[in-house]
Amino acid sequence: MRILYSLLLIFWACSLQAQYEPPEHSRLNYHPRRVFSVELVSTFNVGPSQSSFMYFNTQYSLWQRPLQQLNLQTGMGLGFMRNNYGKMVAMSVPLRLLYAYGRQGHFIEAGLGANLNLGYSLADGGNLVPVALPSLGYRYQIPKAVFFHAYLGLQYHPKLGASPLIGIAVGYDY
């Protein structure tokens, strides 16, 4: 029985070492923890659902390694939409998960997320238009300094169809 208790104690001690995470202030930060950006997004009148937005976003680092990072992006935007609901002035809230791979400030970035658009048109009144948004792009980032992001995406809504879009963001690490 002592052997069993000794083995359990050894496994328990090893599992504590494996589960240990260093405190927040002593973690290595390979990439910025938070990035604020201003983003311009447009479909340039291509596709069945056209839109142009200006977003104020914040990205939070969820996970990072020397060559990789996973970020959560959220924010608020204002813009214009034209689709089956008519011409609308819209407010948008994006929520995206972004995975970046690269080194020395240059990253290839893939994203998946959604925008919740609340639009208003004089003809129809208010409309809630959720849009799925996969993307692929390039990120240039210098810690404690500048951030640049350009991407191609596809906005998709089941009733409105898919439209390609281009986005450009400029920001800084804080």
The DSSP-derived string for 36-88 is EEEEEEE-TT-SSSEEEEEEEEEEEEEEEETTEEEEEEEEEEEEEEEETTEEE
Q: Answer yes or no: is 59 within a domain.
A: yes
Higher-pLDDT residue of 48 and 1 is: 48
Q: Answer yes or no: is 4 within a domain.
A: no
Q: Answer yes or no: is 7 within a domain.
A: no
> Residue 13 above 70 pLDDT?
no
Domain carrying residue 165: 28-173
According to the 3-state scheme, what is the secondary structure of 87-117? EEEEEEEEEEEEEEEEECCEEEEEEEEEEEE
Please give the backbone phi and psi of residue 8, each rounded to the nearest 5 degrees, phi first: -60, -40
Q: Answer yes or no: is 23 within a domain.
A: no
Q: What is the pLDDT of residues 88-143, one digit of tens each?
A: 899 999 999 999 999 888 999 999 999 999 999 888 888 888 999 999 999 998 87
Distance, in Å, from the CA atom of 142 to the CA atom of 108, rounded to the nearest integer, reads 15
- Whether the CB-CB separation of 43 and 53 falls below 8 Å is answered with no
Q: What is the pLDDT of residues 51-80, one digit of tens each?
A: 999 999 999 999 888 899 999 999 999 999
* Global pTM value: 0.79
Q: Answer yes or no: is 15 within a domain.
A: no
Write the CATH number for 144: 2.40.160.20
- Whether the CB-CB separation of 51 and 42 falls below 8 Å is answered with yes
